[in-house]
Amino acid sequence: MTRTVKPVTEEYKEKALDLVEKVFTNFYNRHEGKIMRGVVKEIRSKKYYVPELEFMAVDENGEIIGYAMFSRFHIEGRYDDELLILTPVAVKTELQRQHISKDIIEYGLAKAKELGYKAVLVEGNPDNFNARGFVTAADYGIVEGDTMQLPMIECLMVCELVPGALENIHGAVDYTFYRSLHGELVE
């Protein structure tokens, strides 16, 4: 199967939402699928959205098979011109474990660096992100905030795009500005 990674275009925005919802529904449940769809819609509507950093993988027929969004992020009201968060990442369930997310993430990291961002934060399974250069964020003084409940400290990770950038980025991560994570539907 041939695949291409590129920014999400207008014609794929709804298809990307459908993919994210379906993947998270299949992996977790319907509620989680709706939440992640809402997160994407909410990010797109806020000042943290960077259209050039919303990516998809499409197959040779133009069908969307993978998705990842990098958006600006702040820690304690700082760093939003330097720091990105990678969320969500979704690959069509039947195509997982074929390095589609790897290709999208590596493409996104390169584009983020080109645009001048210094680091990327992600929450997830370390096995999925360590090979992409992500390390435990707590090792750099970036810790989970009071509103987070990580299964283990290693699930909050960061990737330096510019050597030494993490020497000046630290604080507690807080998602409270995402209404969709608190049960509010984003239209």
**Is residue 163 reached through a cis peptide bond, with omega within 30 degrees of 0 on the bond before it?**
no
Cα 137 from Cα 158, distance rounded (Å): 5
Question: Roughly what angle, to the nearest 10 degrees, separates helices 30-45 and 13-27?
Answer: 150
**Structural domains for the chain:** 3-182 (3.40.630.30)
pLDDT of 185 higher than 80: no
Sign of CA dihedral 74, 169, 154, 26: positive
Share of the chain above pLDDT 90, in %: 89
Sign of CA dihedral 41, 156, 72, 97: negative
pLDDT tens digits, 36-90: 999 999 999 999 999 999 999 999 999 999 999 999 999 999 999 999 999 999 9
- The CA–CA distances, whole Å, from 156 to 65, 122, 176, 187 equal 26, 6, 16, 29
Structure confidence at residue 10 (pLDDT) = 96
